[in-house]
Amino acid sequence: MQKYDIFFNFHFLCVILQNLMIGQDTIQRIMDATRIEEVIGEFVSMKKRGANYVGCCPFHNEKTPSFSVSPSKGIYKCFGCGEKGTAVNFLMKHEHYTYPEALRWLAKKYNIEVEEEQMSEEQRERNNERDALFHVSEFAQKYFASILFDDEMGKAVGLGYFHNRGLTDKVIKDFGLGYCLDEWDNFTKYAKKNGYSDNVLQKTGLTIYKEDGKTFDRFRGRVMFPIYSVSGRVLGFSGRILSKEKQQAKYVNSPDSEIYNKSHILYGLYQAKNSITRLDKCYLVEGNIDVISMYQSGVENTVASCGTSLTIEQVRLMRRYTKNVTVLYDGDNAGIKAAFRAVNMLFEEGMHVRVVLFPDGDDPDSYAQKYGSSQLQEYLRDNETNFILFKTKVLLDEVKSDPIRKAEALSDMVRTIALVPDLLERSEYVRQCASLLQVPEETLQNEVAKTLNRKLYESQTHTPDPKDKDLAETQADGSAEQSEAQPAVPHAEPVVPFVLNPAQSQEEKIVSLLLNHGNETLTMEAELENGEKQTADYTVAQIIVGDLLADSITFADPVCQTIFNEYAQMLQDGQTEIDTMLFTTHADKRVSDFATDKMMIDYSISKNWAEMKHIYVPLPEDRLKTDVMESIMSLKMKKLDAKIDDIDRQFPYLSDDQEKLMLIAQKMTLIKIKQKLGTALNRVIS
């Protein structure tokens, strides 16, 4: 009876917790109590340097400390690998916690009682259904694993198959592999006997329901590969048929559900994430067995797409752990073409891509079985190649001396290089590829610029270029749909010049002042209408926002504009002191990353300069007023330059003399304003 009461109370507690969520007031108390140096200090050995703490980064291997923690701002940043964020971000990244788990860890550390709020009926129903899907998926994984090791047929067929593929029992258990008996509805009956409903079994896809009311197991007669979330929860399955019936698909995957979306998941990431983080590198392979064979061979930082062509969501998931990816594909023509298609997305997301092709007929699994783990690792080290240079050489081998095919290869390489977002990296690829293709570097650079121009034009007009081969391949793969209503881009359309935001540094400087000094007060002097001068105190945020709004200055950089808009809104709402934590914990990751970068300053001025060398370096706060006013005027100068350039571009296309005179008058007015700003900045303006 006592045992039953304990179970009942625990079950009752679980039901209550499922209907609750952490309230915003509790979250705020947790954040207020958190001391980031204390939290990170439990995982990283750090020393105090000035106002900050420094240590070796836990997210990549380094000997010289580049990991900095700012207690006053509540943020950290590694100046080596770029990882940054708050204490919550650190726990989520380092310990792989979910957001609620990280909050509860902090609450426990600082003895804060977690007050839960009652969920709405809609939230409760949604959570209950999600929980049911998770529970039945985990139940199924344990059932399939028990069949594999404990059932005679499971051992003979399923376990025999895995052993024939060279897998050990340990690695089979590490990946939770199993077997579904080749019987019509053996699993379904067992699941329903254990209390799982038809609705849940159908939504997970474990059971297929026919219109006549009959049911059968989706994965019958297949070896089972469970697919885990990053935190280790079972989301779905991939089942491989063992019979040679041509009518049946070789692999069958769980359908998308409330908890499983194959385009958002990487197979093996749960097992690989720690190794990927530690080595700052990920191997991308084609199949489940390849992942497991690589893992067993000691290459644990390996993942695969889940029964689909590589998707942008999978690339971004990978990028959470590393920017360095090596693509492993079969050495035949199909494998090479598959690598070409997949890598385009990797480049677009700023990944650094290398490639290893196996000898024709081999893949990572077969190579490991033939030659063993040590030779596999050696082969990976010796045959890894920069992808763009590899692709250039492959295309050159195909074209030989055919000038037409060489031109096609050149166009192909231009499209790939244009996908690289980093300007310096892109320039280096242009230089190396120009040498391999034996074309002038300037020619290749111009072709890349034209491609970037076209993409910029398409993004502004939302009209795809029908000649874009990358788009055509994407549509052929089924990952995008072509709209019949979209007209083709006329060949005579002018190309929009591809230029960087000329005011980028000035915009970033303004926002940096808001984030770092926005709440500081400056005494400003103003001249009244009667000529008298009056002084008043304003915060830096009030000065910047008021001045730029008065002149209708906007930012070309969307992140800078977002931060500026939120500052303006808070000031208009009457807030005089802005909490910068709103930006380092912003829902938009681009904003939180930008804010953390600008608020984490990795330098301090040594006292030796003043005490021993008698050299006095002014600190930023010592010249804050000057810095604010110069930054505002510099930004306005750049915006004036842009308006003047716009007038100059319009002028040649005008035929009406009156319109030309109006433009000239506008330009002269802008030049006079620019000269006044130049005088204030002590600059000579021509």
Model pLDDT, residue 615: 60
Type and span of the H or E element at 234: strand 234-241
Report which of residues 604 and 653 the model is more confident about. Answer: 653
Report which of residues 110 and 340 the model is more confident about. Answer: 110
Rounded (10°) CA dihedral 373, 374, 378, 381? 60
Report which of residues 575 and 353 the model is more confident about. Answer: 353
Model pLDDT, residue 9: 39
Is 293 in the same domain as 207? no
Render the burial of 395-425: b for 16+ CB within 10 Å, e for the rest. bbeebeeeeeebeebbebbbbbbbbbeeeee
Model pLDDT, residue 359: 83
Q: How far apart are CA 121 and CA 118, in angstroms?
A: 9
Q: How far apart are CA 27 and CA 86, in angstroms?
A: 14
Is 61 in the same domain as 140? no
Is 527 in the same domain as 577? yes
Is 412 in the same domain as 305? yes
Is 28 in the same domain as 83? yes
Question: How many Å separate Cα 390 from the centre of its chain?
Answer: 26
**Res. 76 pLDDT band, cuts 50 70 90:** very high
Report which of residues 268 and 2 the model is more confident about. Answer: 268
Q: Are 277 and 323 a contacting pair, CB within 8 Å?
A: no
Rounded (10°) CA dihedral 60, 65, 70, 71? 100
* Mean pLDDT within 402-428: 85
**Res. 141 pLDDT band, cuts 50 70 90:** very high
- What pLDDT digit, counting tens, does each position of 566-623 carry? 898 888 777 878 888 888 888 888 888 899 888 886 555 556 655 666 665 555 556 7
Does 239 map to a domain?
yes
Is 439 in the same domain as 333? yes
Type and span of the H or E element at 9: helix 2-18
Q: What is the CATH number of the domain that holds 291?
A: 3.40.1360.10
**Res. 536 pLDDT band, cuts 50 70 90:** confident
Q: What long-range pairs does 342-345 form, CB within 8 A, spacing at least 24?
A: 342/284, 342/309, 342/310, 343/387, 343/391, 343/416, 344/416, 344/419, 344/470, 345/310, 345/311, 345/312, 345/315
Does 386 map to a domain?
yes
Q: What is the CATH number of the domain that holds 91?
A: 3.90.580.10
Q: Are 297 and 323 a contacting pair, CB within 8 Å?
A: no
Which of 14-28, 69-83, 158-172 shows the lowest mean pLDDT across its residues?
Answer: 14-28
Is 441 in the same domain as 318? yes
Model pLDDT, residue 610: 55
Is 543 in the same domain as 675? yes
**Is residue 30 over pLDDT 80?**
yes
Model pLDDT, residue 231: 67
Highest mean pLDDT among 13-17, 171-175, 548-552, 558-562: 171-175
Does 497 map to a domain?
no
Instruction: Tell which residue, 61, 296, 46, has the closest CA to residue 167.
Output: 296
pTM here? 0.57
**Is residue 485 over pLDDT 50?**
no
Model pLDDT, residue 152: 96
**Is residue 14 over pLDDT 60?**
no
Is 95 in the same domain as 135? no
Identify the domain boundary among 457, 476, 495: 476
Helix axes 87-94, 99-109, angle to 10 degrees: 110
Identify the domain boundary among 240, 260, 280: 260
- Please count the structural domains in the chain: 4
**Is residue 146 over pLDDT 50?**
yes
Instruction: Tell which residue, 684, 644, 639, 685, has the closest CA to residue 668.
Output: 644
**Res. 494 pLDDT band, cuts 50 70 90:** very low
Which of 68-77, 96-105, 309-318, 471-480 shows the lowest mean pLDDT across its residues?
Answer: 471-480
Which of 63-72, 375-384, 462-471 shows the lowest mean pLDDT across its residues?
Answer: 462-471
Looking up tokens 């290749």, which residue turns up?
444
Model pLDDT, residue 117: 59
**Is residue 3 over pLDDT 70?**
no
**Is residue 179 over pLDDT 90?**
yes
Does 178 map to a domain?
yes
Counting residues of the chain whose pLDDT is more than 70, the rounded percentage is: 81
Strand pairing of 84-85 and 116-118? unpaired
Model pLDDT, residue 602: 55
Identify the domain boundary among 117, 146, 166: 117
Which of 26-30, 72-76, 460-464 shows the lowest mean pLDDT across its residues?
Answer: 460-464
Model pLDDT, residue 627: 87
User: 614: left (phi > 0), else alpha (psi -120 to 50), else beta?
Assistant: left
Model pLDDT, residue 684: 52
Render the burial of 486-519: b for 16+ CB within 10 Å, e for the rest. eeebeeeeeebebeeeebeebbbbbbbbbbbbbe
Model pLDDT, residue 487: 36
Model pLDDT, residue 493: 37
Q: How far apart are CA 149 and CA 173, in angstroms?
A: 10
Does 312 map to a domain?
yes
**Res. 668 pLDDT band, cuts 50 70 90:** confident
Range of the domain at 372: 272-476
Model pLDDT, residue 149: 96
Is 89 in the same domain as 219? no
Q: Are 364 and 326 a contacting pair, CB within 8 Å?
A: no
Does 529 map to a domain?
yes
**Is residue 378 over pLDDT 90?**
yes
Model pLDDT, residue 483: 37
* Mean pLDDT within 304-322: 82
Rounded (10°) CA dihedral 644, 650, 654, 659? -40
Query: Which tokens is 267 given?
Result: 């197979």
Q: What is the CATH number of the domain that holds 256?
A: 3.90.980.10
Model pLDDT, residue 17: 40
Which of 220-234, 275-289, 513-527 shows the lowest mean pLDDT across its residues?
Answer: 513-527
Helices (H) and strands (E) in the chain, counts: 30, 21
Rounded (10°) CA dihedral 376, 378, 381, 382? -110
Query: Which tokens is 417 given?
Result: 């290089």
Counting residues of the chain whose pLDDT is more than 90, the rounded percentage is: 25
- How far is the CA of 600 from the CAs of 22, 44, 323, in angstroms? 30, 18, 22
Type and span of the H or E element at 238: strand 234-241
* Mean pLDDT within 296-314: 89
Does 486 map to a domain?
no
Which of 205-219, 285-299, 589-603 shows the lowest mean pLDDT across its residues?
Answer: 589-603
- What pLDDT digit, counting tens, does each position of 426-448 carry? 888 899 888 888 888 888 888 88
Which of 32-46, 217-231, 275-289, 596-610 shows the lowest mean pLDDT across its residues?
Answer: 596-610
**Res. 172 pLDDT band, cuts 50 70 90:** very high
**Res. 332 pLDDT band, cuts 50 70 90:** low
Does 122 map to a domain?
no
Report which of residues 610 and 137 the model is more confident about. Answer: 137
What's the mean per-residue pLDDT of the chain?
80
